[in-house]
Amino acid sequence: MPETRNYRSALAAVTTLFFIWGFLTSLNDILVPHLKAIFDLNYAEVMLIQFSFFSAYFIFSLPSGKLIDRIGYKRAMVVGLLTMGLGALLFVPAAAVPSFPLFLGALIILAAGITLLQVAANPYVTVLGPARTASSRLNLTQAFNSLGTTVAPYFGSLFILSAAPKTTEEVRRMSAQVLQMYRLHEASSVKVPYVGLSLALILLAVFIAAVNLPAIPEAARSPSSRTPGESVWKHRHLVLGAVAIFVYVGAEVAIGSFLVSYLGQPFIGGLSAKAAARLVSLYWGGAMIGRFIGSAVLQKVRTGTALAAAAIGACLLVLTSVATTGHVAMWSILLVGVCNSIMFPSIFALGVSGLGPLTGDGSGVLVMAIVGGAIIPEIQGAMADHIGIQHAFLLPAACYVYIFYYALKGSRPAVNVEA
């Protein structure tokens, strides 16, 4: 019983990390329309926000794993939080110039810290209790991640999108001096929120440093416990799981990134940026509710079965939005969040299943695949510029088809994996 209580308190502490990185990730959905208006960017250009942010997962995942080898899970979480605090603070000079490339640089540093947290926290949660309920525990912690993603758009609508942005035509008619003053004024709205977030991250780092997180032998990334020549790349279900993470994160981020612009289209919702930003909270809120429900359901239903049902539901909802207009198109795309709910933790749990001492390395591979959030929104941005924002949503629909395949077939571990 003491051990169980210890695990519960540790799980509660780590869950706060899931909330904060969900909050910061979802806040990018508000930065997209805000910086698009300030710097007069097209869809492909403004998607460099998500490209820069999620590319950090690809660049920093493997180095994060090596850092965890050296300093352990707890210290890695503290370093990750402090790195995030630095990235948030760098929004101040980026807004003072203002400079779109500096904003992108700040986002990369912020995401580097989140990457370290992801590589440390996800496998830590999977071994923080019985193996049979690993997927359930991840869904529970990811539910608090979704709480962060739900709150962030509303927060951003209040503090970042506080004023109605100028139209593209109005911006282009401004003189160079007036344009610079406009950009300085609009960009300054990010300063206070991100300074506050930086201070919160530093305080959270102090809290994690002080709390007792038990050492879990199953989470240890010790080379001595491995068979010589054994490699994560020989595990087919892990490799296919990495592809599933790639397309899932890409689809989820692409939909979230385009929602404000999509809901503002006259044939969809005709909403202002501020009103649309508040509805984005419903998209992420659906994921939060679904994860709380999923945490209970996955203790009774096989993970692959639940994942397949969610994938086919998401695909049908996206196709409905593409094929319709008005409220049907608007609400069907917002409801995709409910289907997204169990996908990441379920794919993650299926991907690292049966890896034993390679679980930490497998986690690094799966977190690296989050780079899909950089690639797929960028492709969808280019599609939106050429075929229109509505038909560009066919790309996420295709992503969900692959996840359906992975849930039913690709996630099955090989009977015999050669060492």
- Whether 333 maps to a domain, the answer reads yes
217 occurs within a structural domain: no
Looking up residue 327, the CATH number of its domain turns out to be: 1.20.1250.20
Q: What are phi and psi of 167, to 5 degrees?
A: -75, 165
- Asked, for residue 224, whether it belongs to a domain, the answer is no
Whether 4 shows a pLDDT value over 50: the answer reads no
Could you list the residue range(s) of the whole structural domain that residue 194 is in? 2-211+232-410
| 392/157 Cα distance (integer angstroms) | 25
Q: How many structural domains are present in the chain? A: 1
Identify whether 419 is part of a domain: no
Closest CA to 22 of 146, 201, 204: 146
Residue % of the chain over a pLDDT of 90: 47
Residue 4, Cβ neighbours under 10 Å: how many? Answer: 9
Average pLDDT of the chain?
86
Q: Which of 249, 333, 288 is nearest to 50 (CA)?
A: 249
pLDDT for 141-167, tens place per residue? Answer: 888 888 888 888 888 888 887 655 665
Does residue 264 sit within a domain?
Answer: yes
- Stated as kind and residue range, the H or E segment containing 357 is none
Residue 12 lies in a domain: yes
Asked if the structure places residue 223 within a domain, the reply is: no
| pLDDT tens digit sequence for 22-75 | 999 989 888 888 888 888 889 999 999 999 999 998 999 888 888 887 888 889
At residue 82, the pLDDT reads 97
| CA 364 and chain centroid, separation | 15
Neighbours of 39 (CB within 10 A): 17
Q: Is residue 400 one of the residues assigned to a domain?
A: yes
